[in-house]
Chain A
Amino acid sequence: MNKHLKMDRPATERFLDETAQNVLGTPMDRPDGPAKAAGQATYAHEWQIEGLCHGVLVRATIPAGRVARIDADAVTGRDGVLRVISDPRMLRVPAQGGANEAPDQGPDEVAYLGQPIALVVAETFEAARDGALALPVEYDPADFTVDPDAVEPEVPKKKQASQGDLEAAMREAAHSVDVTYTTPGHNSAAMEPHAAIAVWNGDDLLLRGSYQMLKYNRNELADAVGIDPAHVRILSPYVGGGFGSKLGITHEAVAAALASKELGRPVSVTLSRQQVFETTMRRSETRQRFRLACDAEGRMTAVGHEVLVSQLPGQQFSEPVTQATPFAYAGPNRVIGHRIARVNRTCAGSVRAPGEAVGITAMENAMDELAEAAGIDPVQFRILNIPEKDPTSGKPFSSHTLERALREGAERFGWSERRAPGQRREGDWLIGMGMASAIRVNILAEAKARVTLEPDGRVLVETDMTDIGTGTYSILTQVASETLGVSTDRVRVRLGDTDLPPGPGSGGSWGAASSGSAVYLAARAVRDRIAEAMGADEVTLKDGHAIAGNRRVDLAGLFDGPVTAEGHVEPGKTMKETRQSSFGAYFCEVAVNAVTGETRVRRMHGTFAAGRILNAKTASSQCLGGMTFGIGMALTEELLHDPRDGHIVNRDLAEYHLPVNADVPQIDVVLLEERDDYASPIQAKGIGELGICGAAGAVTNAIYNACGVRVRDYPATLDKVLAVLPD
């Protein structure tokens, strides 16, 4: 009685618009909220377990070379230190998202400063922490390189593209810009540091950890430790934020598992905040050259986007900066270039919205420059250049909401009040407005979920899918409630357990639409059983009752035992045959201090469309969060690498400046009503990352409008503004 759907045809049926419970899309409070607000939701490090010992990782203090000697005796046996573990199976770098196998292992080969090389395990955290810092280590240093601008970059063939004649188009254009933008490295900096507690029961490993994509994480962990995945169970019922940094298995999981096996005791390992900065994924810095051109009417003729990113030697992943460039704006002449500098810096990987977060942001700056060169309002300029179909592949868009978002957002924000650069001043503050488009590719990922109608009429939803703050508990509750006509308080959702049907994991914004679809399909299967039991072709389900013809039957008691079904959704032809993307528009008002160059965001608005919205509250919060990431990217966030050894010097939350409450105004978010039949059976698209994809561009465009300073080197810290401000 399971239901499987391969998304080969558009879901034009829109079944969820016909159901009767009317709870889907409503701003329901999160069911996990009361426990979180009371401190009763338990995260990875919070497992109360007898005999737990504590492990702290030791960092390499050179950027490249070999660990020659670890003087374990210097700390072992003192102060409750039990063991110093340096196992070739420990990780050198975390697994990239979806790796599904162990990443580079062998910690005694050092690839970057800060790489974990050993684990000190002690009876107490205090002893382990001190042992880890006191452990004497000797190295055989090797040659290294840390400056992305100083090495000959790799030019991967697959990542280059060209059509038409960009250079001719630039020459012949009425207006053009050839500008280079740079963005620095970023860290996800989730509030919960990476943590794991490992316990073995014979050959079976149970790990409570903080990870985003459990079905892959299980295989990665098993592969690293060298056991069959069937012997690994991971629990991540609550994840204290991820933003990409917990996509793949990380150092602490493997270290905890190995230590626990060796000592025969449960072991916890939590990264210190400094280690989170040094050893979890960084978003690569980028250098992005834009060559954009348009005709006298403002119609674009050229889109060139060539980028340089950096990565450790040997790593496949490189920041997909140009991911949305092929379809963002019209123009027949196009070039995409992608180069990778191999450097001994912390591994580069996914940080919220890899690709568009930096790629669309800088694109939106370059678009602002071209709009100005053409003398056209930036909103109009974008509307003018929305392509009819994907200008690179020729595929139709599954839906395109950018124009609507731009128009409605501009209206709501009061864009028409914008003046020419440097025209508005209030005391010490120069006031300006800026805008940017939001563009993020949409992906449906394979997902399974199980739905059970209990004999008492309650509903249980189960999947290994995670809720990293994204609202999974909420939206799966609502999908099940809506499909089965059961009030939300009678639905329970179990997540984050690899024993449950595999979901897609939380990443790439695909979670809600993919898992939501799996739950929907499973619930449809249960619906079919209800209809069958009622002897009807179709039933109406509402408030725990089934209605068919003139019969109304309580779901409680309809069946003697539980009715269970599994839903399984897979991407299919609709993803290949259409270009799918979520869209939106940002509008921002900043104040730039004429004395100090400090920028404050005074107002910010985002209008977004992402297909069917499953919960207006959690979707809106995701957008708020993304836009705040954008404020951080625009103004404060930057990984500072030492120029000599490449290590991250601002490796804590005092000096890596996440936005604080005072940096963020009461951001306004509007979600547009939309259904995308090509995206998923529930007409939903991804929204988790949309809010960051371009947001920083709206802020820096506003800085330009406020004071006439184009900061092309992110973040727009006061020194860069000051350099160009008049006395």
Chain B
Amino acid sequence: MRTELTINGATHALEADARTTLLDALRDHLGLTGSKKGCDHGQCGACTVIVNGRRINACLTLACMHDGDEIVTIEGLGTAEAPSEMQRAFVAHDGYQCGYCTPGQICSATAMLDEVAQGWPSHVSDDLTGEMDLSDAEISERMSGNLCRCAAYPNIVDAIRATARKEAAE
């Protein structure tokens, strides 16, 4: 079936089996292989993309369900030559090793900071209704949907904290 997808601001016409997930559409049909497939079941977060401003697992949604949605993938956040602040921070803090979970981590972290800005609480927030303070524990909890077997977690937390502070200072 045919679906029009808006990805990183550009329109793509996808002609694919209805069974095609958004992740497989990106990787196998549209050449956008930055989004990774780690488990294909929403258990690792490597496929995280941002749809209508929210991070989701691209492996657990069908491409055909997303016409009209604004999809942002890692390729839309920045490039190796012109990285986003978050991408830059991941490199500076070594917030990765093998790099396979990294695009998902960065998409997730980027959208996560928006969730915090909107005052969303987390499992570790002491107060559900107060101001959200981005402690290390908060970052870790909010990033727990992104597995990293190389286990760069402490560096990922450093990178996100640094990015958040930089954004706050601006």
Contact = CB atoms under 8 A, between A and B. Distances in A.
**Direct A/B contact, Cβ within 8 angstroms:** yes
Contact of B28 (A125, A469, A622): A125
A621 B87 contact: no
B113 interface: no
A35 B155 CA distance: 18
Given A190-B149, A191-B101, A37 B44 contact: no
B38 A192 contact: yes
A193 B158 CA distance: 27
A625 B140 contact: no
Contacts of B102: 36-37, 39
Contacts of A191: 36, 38, 44, 46, 98, 100-101, 147-150
A29 B43 contact: no
Given A40-B75, A189-B149, 16 more contacts: A36-B99, A36-B102, A38-B34, A39-B74, A125-B24, A126-B19, A191-B38, A191-B44, A238-B98, A618-B94, A628-B151, A652-B43, A658-B149, A659-B151, A661-B153, A666-B136
Given A33-B91, A191-B148, A652-B43, A38 B74 contact: yes
Interface of B: 16-17, 19-20, 24, 27-28, 31-41, 43-44, 46, 73-75, 77-81, 83, 87-88, 90-92, 94, 96-103, 106, 124, 136-137, 139-141, 143-158
Interface in A624-641: 624-629
A47 to B, nearest CB: 9
Nearest to B87: A37
Interface string A32-50: 1111111111110110100
A30 B94 contact: yes
Interface string A504-541: 00000000000000000000000000000000000000
B140 A664 contact: yes
B125 to A, nearest CB: 13
**Top 7 closest A-B pairs, CB basis?**
A39-B34, A240-B100, A469-B98, A36-B99, A628-B151, A469-B97, A39-B74
6 contacts: A43-B36, A469-B150, A625-B97, A625-B150, A654-B41, A664-B140
A468 B150 CA distance: 9
A621 B94 CA distance: 7
How would you classify the secondary structure of chain B's contact residues: helix, strand, loop or mixed? Answer: loop
A36 B91 CA distance: 9
A658 B147 contact: yes
B98 A468 contact: yes
Contacts of B34: 38-40
Nearest to A352: B149
Contacts of B28: 125
Interface string A248-283: 000000000000000000000010110000000000
A659 B79 CA distance: 30
B146 A192 contact: no
Contact of B154 (A193, A242, A617, A667): A667
Contact of A652 (B41, B75, B80, B143): B41
Contacts of B94: 29-30, 33, 617-618, 620-621
B150 A621 contact: yes
B97 A40 contact: no
A35 B80 contact: yes
Interface string A178-196: 0000000000111111000
A607 interface: no
Interface in A209-242: 238-242
Contact of B40 (A272, A471, A620, A660): A272
B5 to A, nearest CB: 17
A193 B38 contact: yes
Given A29-B92, A40-B80, A192 B157 contact: no
Contacts of A130: 19
A192 B38 CA distance: 5
Contacts of B141: 661-662
A193 B151 contact: no
A48 B87 CA distance: 24
B144 A662 contact: yes
A507 to B, nearest CB: 15
A375 interface: no
A617 B106 CA distance: 20
A46 B83 CA distance: 21
A29 to B, nearest CB: 5
Contacts of A45: 27, 33, 37
A351 to B, nearest CB: 11
A330 B40 CA distance: 49
Contacts of B103: 37-39
A487 interface: no
Contacts of A660: 144-145, 147
A241 B150 CA distance: 7
Residue of B24, B44, B81 contacting most chain A CB atoms (<10 Å): B44
Given A40-B79, A191-B38, A240 B151 contact: no
A362 B90 CA distance: 35
B33 A42 contact: yes
Contacts of B43: 273, 652-654
A39 B75 contact: yes
Contacts of B145: 660
A470 interface: yes
Nearest to A667: B154
Given A39-B75, A126-B19, A273 B39 contact: yes
Contacts of A125: 24, 28
Contact of A471 (B32, B83, B97): B97
A38 B100 contact: no
Given A37-B83, A39-B75, A624 B36 contact: no
B74 to A, nearest CB: 4
Nearest to B74: A39
Contacts of A243: 149
A625 B151 contact: yes
Contacts of B151: 624-629, 659, 664
A659 B140 CA distance: 11
A241 B43 CA distance: 17
A443 interface: no
B99 A32 contact: yes
A626 B153 CA distance: 12
A127 interface: yes
A269 to B, nearest CB: 13
Contacts of B150: 191, 241, 469, 621, 625
B43 to A, nearest CB: 4
B33 A46 contact: yes
A124 interface: yes
A665 interface: yes
A593 to B, nearest CB: 15
